[in-house]
Amino acid sequence: MRHPHCVVVGDCMLDRTLLSTTSRICPEAPVPVAVLQEVRDAAGGAGNVAANIAALGGYPALVSIVGKDEAGYAIGSCLQHVPNVWLSLLDHEAVQTTVKMRVVSGGQLLLRVDQERPYYDVIGYSDVQARLVQHLQGTMSESLRLFVISDYGKGMLPQASVDNVVAAARTVGALIFVDCKRELYKYAGVVNLVKLNLQEAMDSVDDACHPGLAADKITQGCTAAHLISQQFGIPTVVVTLGADGVAVSSEGQTWNVPAHTQAVFDVTGAGDTFMAGLAVAFLEGADLRSAVDMANVAAALAVQVHGTTIVTRFAVEQFRRQQREPQFKLATLEEARRFASYCHDAGKKIVFTNGCFDLLHPGHVHVLRTARAAGDVLIVGFNSDESVRQLKGPTRPLIPQGERGLQLCDHHVVDMAVVYDEPSPDRLIRAISPHVLVKGEEYRNTTIPGAEYVASCGGEILLVPMLDWFSTTQLQVRLDGVQTTTTGQAAAS
């Protein structure tokens, strides 16, 4: 596995969901009887942040402390199955791993039971701090650009630990982002960004008398973010507001980013997912506004699933494309390559088809629908104007490539459309490596561009029967005939 470019440090916990059925009331008390059906474990806290960073396309190292107990081993087991997470877990016999158990029936949370014992006394041991420094040093590499601190207040991050993390980050010139519940003073003047939810932000400025703190949630969030930035010397403060979006204060400016409205089933771990989205966007060079947008999308997807969940980059990109205008489905070759990589990582079946799509007609739509039904994602390549002229002659295309691209993207079955200048889509096909290549039946006895490559990768070639009388050339001939007849009639009259 490649060296990490991000280190996640903080409190790990085990999120354990007890899935049950309920059909009767307990005779001892008026409460439901939950019959256990399944136990699902997931890494929570810093572990959830690291897992989501990896799923969104990052390469994180996770440094945390767990107990030498069943829950600690379960966290390690959960994370070992997450690709691209570099595990660096300290275990200590004096630590009790934090466990959050949720009893769920029919999608409804019935009860949460927490098992925790803060271990500030343990982490304060000089030998534990020495081990922490060793683990941090073990993650150091030239590619390291960001430290994410996940501080749930469970004992992993007293001031001594924070100082060691800050020192490690400074040795490689990495940024420091913090997801903090309380005790902001530990991070005053030494980190680049802090994320809190509205209640945590309000608690951090509860001594401040400001009219904005008594207003609506958006004003409260923006005001609190600005006050925290000023009071603690933190350049950027992000306050999540649930359905009201996000409040951001950075470099003296404060603004609100609306939420992506979704059906909310469970907010468990949504803050971790938001932080992961923020981190990955920054690692990819996004500006603050774009990073917050990506984090917003990731969190919106997380709340649609019961329990702690891992949101993939594929899901984020699909959501973005579905929410935006058709032109956002248009992509360059490099964008298609990245999107296809997300699809492959998510185990999605990619279907590809191509053509000039000049004068889009029912025959084209038939092929597109058949292609989309053959997999999970449909990427369509279409010839540029110059490429069409090379194939069809100087009088074509009838419709310019910009409009042809938008017509393709306007179809809900199309996930992405990519224009190419070459007569053949072979380079595009090699870039996305589709599982299925779709062409019309009339290509059966011809050499289909990219077919040999797709077959060599274990893919399949699907030939779709064409609809009679529906091809651009036939339609043009018919239209020319109608025009000639009409002109002749007009002349005779």
Give the per-residue pLDDT at 134. 85
Mean pLDDT of 56-72: 92
Number of domains in the chain: 2
Does the residue 309 lie in any domain? Answer: no
The mean-pLDDT minimum among 16-20, 57-61, 152-156, 424-428 falls in: 152-156
Give the per-residue pLDDT at 362. 84
Question: Is 272 part of the annotated catalytic residue set?
Answer: yes
Enumerate helices (H) and strands (E) in the chain, giving the number of each. Answer: 17, 19
The CATH code of the domain that includes 357 is 3.40.50.620
The mean-pLDDT minimum among 16-25, 155-164, 305-314 falls in: 305-314
Comparing 264 with 365, which gets the higher pLDDT?
Answer: 365
Name the range with the highest mean pLDDT among 149-158, 313-322, 377-386.
Answer: 377-386
Does the residue 346 lie in any domain? Answer: yes
**194, 220, 223, 371, 429 from 212: Cα distances, Å:** 20, 6, 6, 54, 55
Cis omega (within 30 of 0) on the bond before 397?
yes
Predicted confidence (pLDDT) at residue 197 exceeds the cutoff of 50: yes
- Domain end, chosen from 191, 226, 249, is at 191
Give the per-residue pLDDT at 485. 46
Residues sharing a CB contact under 8 Å with residue 230, sequence separation 6 or more, in sequence order: none
Report the predicted TM-score, pTM, of the whole model to 2 decimal places. Answer: 0.75
Average pLDDT, the chain: 86
Predicted confidence (pLDDT) at residue 347 exceeds the cutoff of 50: yes
Mean pLDDT of 205-224: 80
Predicted confidence (pLDDT) at residue 488 exceeds the cutoff of 80: no
Does the residue 355 lie in any domain? Answer: yes
Among 155, 163, 116, 135, residue whose Cα is nearest residue 63? 135
Predicted confidence (pLDDT) at residue 399 exceeds the cutoff of 60: yes
Instruction: Work out the angle at residue 187's Cα, subtended by the Cα atoms of residues 181 and 189, and round it to the nearest 5 degrees.
Output: 140
Does the residue 296 lie in any domain? Answer: no
Predicted confidence (pLDDT) at residue 275 exceeds the cutoff of 80: yes
Stretch (H or E) spanning 192: none
Give the per-residue pLDDT at 487. 43
Give the per-residue pLDDT at 3. 75
Give the per-residue pLDDT at 490. 38
Predicted confidence (pLDDT) at residue 484 exceeds the cutoff of 70: no
Dump strand ranges (E) for 217-356.
236-240, 246-250, 253-257, 330-331, 350-355
Mean pLDDT of 5-14: 94
Question: How confident is residue 311, by pLDDT bands cut at 50, 70 and 90?
Answer: confident
Q: Dump pLDDT digits (tens) for 217-272.
A: 899 999 999 999 999 999 999 999 988 889 999 988 999 988 776 555 556 668 89
Mean pLDDT of 132-155: 88
Does the residue 158 lie in any domain? Answer: yes
Name the range with the highest mean pLDDT among 109-123, 266-280, 304-318, 453-467.
Answer: 453-467
Give the per-residue pLDDT at 481. 56
Q: Which amino acid is at 378?
A: L
Residues of the chain with pLDDT > 90, as a percent, come to 49
The whole domain housing 111 covers 6-191
- Domain end, chosen from 156, 191, 226, is at 191
Question: How confident is residue 63, by pLDDT bands cut at 50, 70 and 90?
Answer: very high
Give the per-residue pLDDT at 50. 95
Give the per-residue pLDDT at 160. 86
Among 463, 473, 414, 416, residue whose Cα is nearest residue 439? 463
Predicted confidence (pLDDT) at residue 146 exceeds the cutoff of 60: yes
Give the per-residue pLDDT at 491. 37
Does the residue 215 lie in any domain? Answer: no
Predicted confidence (pLDDT) at residue 306 exceeds the cutoff of 80: no
Distance CA 211, CA 232 (A): 20
The CATH code of the domain that includes 145 is 3.40.1190.20
Catalytic residue among 15, 272, 358, 415: 272
φ and ψ at 60, to 5 degrees? -95, 150
Does the residue 213 lie in any domain? Answer: no
Mean pLDDT of 268-297: 90
